[in-house]
Amino acid sequence: MRETVSGLPPAFWWLWTSTLVNRLGGFVATFMALYLTLDRGYSATYAGLIAALHGLGGVLSSLGAGVMTDRLGRRPTLLAAQASTAVSVALLGFVRDPVAIAVVAFLVGMASNASRPAVQAMMADIVRPEDRIRAFSLNYWAINLGFAVSTTAAGFIAEHSYAAGFLLEAVMTMICAIVVFVKLPESKPVQAAGQAHEDSVGLGTVLRDGRFMGVVGLSFLVALIFQQGAVGLPVAMGAAGFTPAEYGMAIAVNGVLIVVLQIPVTRFIEHRDPGRLLVASALLAGYGFGLTAFAGSVGVFALTVCVWTLAEIINAPTQTGLVVQLSPAHGRGRYQGMYTMSWAVAALVAPLMSGLVIDRYGAEWLWGTCAVVGTVAGLGYALLMRRLPSETSTLAAPAPPPAPALAAGAAPVIVEEAPVVATGVDASVQKAVVPGCGGEGRSEVSAS
């Protein structure tokens, strides 16, 4: 634990704290369906429509938030997303008209998803390349720890007052915005003279990046598989005669394993080949769900959950690190927005896919389809990583040690690219090129 958390900058830990607090307050998504059907008396069809609108808002905001992250900056985008989420969630607890509920739920989906590209881009800015896998893993650990606590608390809160749940999430989200405002500086890289203008990295640039769009496509396939844990698995277990409580026991293994294993598994994968890790995670995900076809008891269902949870633990930080590696510094927001959209679209498609396959062909065909999709994704990662430039192997490779500081009277330093990461003082860590030293004179120089 000490080795895993050491060496990361203070700004990362404030961002991590903001993520944890945000997930600790994630009550609304947990009890929205119960609130609409039990408390408000709406039909299950209407509740499903609201969930779809919430997801659609997330899909649409992914790209817009990515553009804002690059143009306005990481910090303003994050502040706007969290403040608007707090306001819209609080409003959702008080609107009564069905059309108004649908509109506000759509806005909540847009606002809550808009923070993700900014968080991921800021994390890539403030953490050294050799520490990114570890940082993304710790962030994912915080997300799941917060989710595990919030889902447990949501049940107790809903028994007393749904309105209290909406207001509590709004307050905790606003606390996140305050943490960002007080403790986190802007981390957007500073452009040096002669560099291409940041607007030259537009959405068209992202779409024309064949390698990156390949990663997005494969990410969609993997996300489609993982989504079945929340949409296909409960339906299949219910059709097989299992109770909601038994499904809860099986799926709880997912959260427990992530909280317990994320850090030790990160230590194991941190310096390993990301291509092999992504292939392994895709296969584990596909065949983990594929094994569900043979499950006949809660214990066996829980064992299958163990398999695909391990895939999730490996995939999340590795794939996010690959996205950062393929992204230009001034286009990280747009690239992260496109990557985030792949998961949001999968969240929309997965319910349709699972429902259609189960109704027409049976649950066994759904799990077989997951195995096929996982195999296709694994082969795709194997082919894609072979085509990547050799420097992508540095995803998990340690950076060279800093060169000694320049002596007085030495040649001037020309800034090539400078991610601004302040920690309470006017300071930054800049990558510099020393004239006269050629390409080998690059070093990390602390400048104030």
Overall domain count for the chain: 3
Report if residue 2 sits inside a domain. Answer: yes
Query: Rounded to whole angstroms, how far apart are CA atoms 13 and 139?
Result: 9
Dihedral of CA atoms 243, 248, 254, 258 in degrees, nearest 10, equals: -170
Dihedral angle sign, alpha carbons of residues 398, 399, 401, 402? negative
Contact, 333 vs 66, CB < 8 A?
Answer: yes
pLDDT of res. 225: 94
Residue 408 main-chain phi, psi, to 5 deg: -60, 135
Report if residue 196 sits inside a domain. Answer: no
Query: Rounded to whole angstroms, how far apart are CA atoms 120 and 113?
Result: 12
pLDDT of res. 372: 96
Find, among 280, 269, 300, 273, the residue nearest to 140 by Cα.
269
| 28/149 same-domain check | yes
Report if residue 194 sits inside a domain. Answer: no
Assign 93 to helix, strand or coil. Answer: coil
Last residue of a domain, one of 148, 163, 187: 187
| 264/168 same-domain check | no
Q: DSSP string covering 11-60, please?
A: HHHHHHHHHHHHHHT--HHHHHHHIIIIIS---HHHHHHHHHHHHHHHHH
pLDDT of res. 236: 84
pLDDT of res. 1: 67
Find, among 321, 323, 352, the residue nearest to 62 by Cα.
323
Report if residue 195 sits inside a domain. Answer: no
Report if residue 306 sits inside a domain. Answer: yes
Find, among 420, 419, 407, 415, the residue nearest to 443 by Cα.
415
| 214/230 same-domain check | yes
| 346/436 same-domain check | no
Query: Rounded to whole angstroms, how far apart are CA atoms 231 and 233?
Result: 6
pLDDT of res. 200: 61
Amino acid (one-letter) located at 16: W
Specify the DSSP element, H or E, that contains 416.
strand 414-419
Contact, 312 vs 201, CB < 8 A?
Answer: no
pLDDT of res. 376: 96
| 225/320 same-domain check | yes
Q: DSSP string covering 232-275, please?
A: HHHHHHHHTT--HHHHHHHHHHHHHHHHHHHHHHHHHHTTS-HH
| 387/412 same-domain check | no
Report if residue 383 sits inside a domain. Answer: yes
Q: How far is CA 8 from CA 12, 64, 354, in A?
A: 7, 30, 41
| 3/135 same-domain check | yes
Domain coverage including residue 348? 202-399
Query: Rounded to whole angstroms, how far apart are CA atoms 204 and 206?
Result: 5
| 53/79 same-domain check | yes
| 424/376 same-domain check | no
| 183/331 same-domain check | no
Query: Rounded to whole angstroms, how far apart are CA atoms 215 and 232?
Result: 25
Last residue of a domain, one of 136, 153, 187: 187
> Average pLDDT by consecutive 10-residue portion of the chain (448 residues)?
77 89 76 77 78 83 85 90 92 90 90 87 86 84 81 73 86 90 84 52 81 92 90 83 81 85 83 89 96 91 93 90 85 86 86 82 92 96 76 41 42 39 36 34 32
Last residue of a domain, one of 187, 218, 239: 187
Report if residue 33 sits inside a domain. Answer: yes
Report if residue 192 sits inside a domain. Answer: no
Query: Rounded to whole angstroms, how far apart are CA atoms 142 and 119?
Result: 13
| 121/227 same-domain check | no
Assign 153 to helix, strand or coil. Answer: helix
Contact, 279 vs 309, CB < 8 A?
Answer: no
Find, among 228, 217, 211, the residue nearest to 376 by Cα.
217
| 326/431 same-domain check | no
- The enclosing domain of 306 has a CATH number of 1.20.1250.20
Q: DSSP string covering 99-130, please?
A: HHHHHHHHHHHHHHHHHHHHHHHHHHHHS-GG
